[in-house]
Amino acid sequence: MEHIFDVVVVGCGVAGLSAAATAAEHGLKVAVLERATREERGGQSRWTEAYLRMKSLDEVSDDFEAHLSENAGPYNDPDFIGEMSGPRASWSQGARSLAIPDPDLIAGFAERVPATIKWLQTLGVKFDFLPTQFLTKTQPRLLPVGGGAALVEALAAHAEKLGVDFFYETTARRLIVDEAGEIQGVKAQQAGIGSLRFIGKVVLASGGFEGSPEMMTKYIGPRSVYLRPVCKGGYFNKGEGIEMALAAGAGPSGEFGSYHAEPVDPRSGVSEPSVFIFPYGILVNKDGQRFTDEAPGTVDAYYERVTRRIYEQREGIAYVILDQRVKDVPNYRLAIRTDQPAIEADSMEALAGKLDIPADALLRTVAGYNGACGHDGQYDALRLDGVRTSGLNPPKSNWALPLDKGPFMAYPIISSNVFTFGGLKVNTDAQVLDTDGNIMPNLYAAGETVGMYYTNYTGATSVLKGMVFGRAAGDHLGEHARAAAASAR
């Protein structure tokens, strides 16, 4: 069975919905393919709080472009980077095909953010600087009231009103490519129907590959068995959009061997059962040993780096050990999102037994830590206070108070996989580029299907990335259709 549309969007999160709604605003006939049911639509977007790295409704954070640029791939060839400061037409093939976001992409991303927020406001989405999970932070974070679910519902309602056709329980499998190598549509599979062909220009907005054990093992390695998606929406992201585009010659971008890490309680099944309280205690592994500085800086800026150290431990798990002092931290419960209770014991030895870690090792670790505490600075739970350990390896740089006020508490922590970093290379109009840096006609990408991040995630930019590049794809499709119609007259 064949369906003919102007635009076929793969994925129903904020990226796909932004593309679909924008293309429909231009009068185009649009289809959205979504592997989930209508009730489950939205992918990870539905589950996220949707933090936005903005200092006001019309301004991104001061470090927005700088942070993205500084984390756009380590050790890039300086000659290529030098070329990229000039006009793209002057770049060599090597510069054009680098698997990193081009400088104009990052600048264009930042530039489009305010207009995207204004557009969402016209759809009824409200934004505010609401409380976050971070008790200490360096960056402002604007939030949509109602989180990602509010974005999904507003965008979907707008798309439906404009006549966008939704095909639920429909999974895109591969691109349809003609003899000239141009994209003509996608082949898909629909539950209860079978194979379908959707003809039209294609927008891939189907997320990363955090829900694919095969791709996770292929790119991130066999230890990825100790990772899990941060929310149930992540299980829908199985990487087909990325794979089908790469098979058609698309260029890669982003760090395929990495992902956005967030510390969560493995006992919990709620969305993002995060545990950000570790700066006020110590982290120990299954051998009862500390392995990292728990408080190198504000938690919003450093939690990912600490979480990656947790993932490196045996079986990818650690435990934050706390005492009753944590309850003196103002609003400390905001930093604990899990629905599971702390594991408690009257003595450190008894706590070790409940955690199934060697008691003698834990007792030595805690004694060594306590003896190194209380040096320099004036304790202040809500700012970097410089109260650090002395003579301890690894050190603790802030909030280093002894653990001596029982009963003692612990939470298990693993690294969740919020989303994968590897994806497709696009230009500022969200057009997919091939492995030589050339535009692939009729193919666009948005959201986490686009590869942009390396090493350290630029926090609170992923939802913005989805909406901005989804809207960019829809606008370019509309402008291209108008130009084609004008030339045909």
Residue 303: closest CA among 263, 246, 265:
263
What are the domain boundaries of the chain? Answer: 2-258+421-488, 264-415
CA distances to 255, 441, 474 from 482, in Å:
36, 16, 12
pTM for this structure?
A: 0.96
Architecture of domain 264-415: Alpha-Beta Complex (3.90)
Interior angle at CA 10, CA 269 and CA 102, nearest 5:
95
User: Residue 13: pLDDT band by 50, 70, 90 thresholds?
Assistant: very high
User: How far is Cα 200 from Cα 186, in angstroms, rounded to an integer?
Assistant: 8
Q: Quick one: DSSP state of residue 488? A: H
Q: What pLDDT, on a 0 to 100 scale, did the predictor assign at position 345?
A: 98
Token look-up 């220009």 returns 201
User: Residue 375: pLDDT band by 50, 70, 90 thresholds?
Assistant: low
Architecture of domain 2-258+421-488: 3-Layer(bba) Sandwich (3.50)
The encoded tokens of residue 338 equal: 């899990």
441 Cβ contact partners less than 8 Å away, ≥ 6 residues apart: 182, 183
In 354-488, the DSSP E strands lie at 408-420, 423-424, 431-433, 439-445
User: How far is Cα 432 from Cα 483, in angstroms, rounded to an integer?
Assistant: 20
pLDDT, tens digit (0-9, with 9 covering 90-100), for 242-300 = 999 999 999 999 999 999 999 999 999 999 999 999 999 999 999 999 999 999 999 99
